[in-house]
A and B are shown apart, each in its own frame.
Chain A
Amino acid sequence: KAGVTQTPRYLIKTRGQQVTLSCSPISGHRSVSWYQQTPGQGLQFLFEYFSETQRNKGNFPGRFSGRQFSNSRSEMNVSTLELGDSALYLCASSSEAGLEGMNTEAFFGQGTRLTVV
């Protein structure tokens, strides 16, 4: 079956603009998580959505937001872009098992590389 699909793969935006990234999870997966990867901070958790509800949230400012649709597709939005938002944004989907999916594998997409100039 198809893997996690993220669009677009590459994006260049200007400081102050806003951006929306999209993620289509593996068919049947209802949990979608977003991570930011930068050389300085490494991989950091942004948020997780399950059945259209934000279930967990990382330590990022309110400029970072997300949502999930009824078909489990997810979008994340970053408003008022800053140079420091330049990063690889990774989306991961998981099936739901016991323990709210904690003991299940997360499948990652190839990421969207965002460059803010």
Chain B
Amino acid sequence: AQSVTQLDSQVPVFEEAPVELRCNYSSSVSVYLFWYVQYPNQGLQLLLKYLSGSTLVKGINGFEAEFNKSQTSFHLRKPSVHISDTAEYFCAVRRRALTFGSGTRLQVQP
């Protein structure tokens, strides 16, 4: 079985500052890792995914994530956030179905 832990439930940050949202996973087999974003009253939108290959993955809206197998982490980063990045972010691991973390609410303040 796999599980995902998002270490921060809320991350407040000022506009144009960098941000890192942390994600750790556990799985006994190879996994595929994803980050999704959810805006209020919306579904989930894929930000980026790690399937194999380069451990640094670039996604949409300037986000990137680094897969670290030894630390079983897949942290999401953005060098400079905007007000419009305010949303909930979910890390997920896929074996059969997607197993999601509990989410991190990113609050970008002016």
Contact = CB atoms under 8 A, between A and B. Distances in A.
Interface string B84-102: 0000001000111111111
A45 B44 contact: no
Given A33-B97, A103-B51, A42 B32 contact: no
Contacts of A110: 41-43
A11 interface: no
Interface string A59-76: 000000000000000000
A50 B18 CA distance: 41
Contacts of A45: 97-99
A35 B36 CA distance: 14
A6 B43 CA distance: 10
A29 to B, nearest CB: 14
B98 A100 contact: no
Given A42-B102, A90-B44, A105-B46, A48 B96 contact: yes
Interface residues of A, number: 24
A56 B97 contact: yes
Contacts of A92: 44, 98
A102 B43 contact: no
A58 interface: yes
Contact of B44 (A6, A58, A108): A108
Q: Identify which of B46, B90, B98 gathers the most chain A CB atoms within 10 Å of its CB.
A: B98
Interface of B: 32, 34, 36, 41-46, 49, 51-52, 90, 94-103
17 contacts: A6-B43, A33-B97, A33-B98, A35-B98, A42-B101, A42-B103, A43-B98, A43-B100, A48-B96, A92-B98, A100-B96, A102-B95, A103-B51, A105-B34, A105-B46, A105-B49, A110-B43
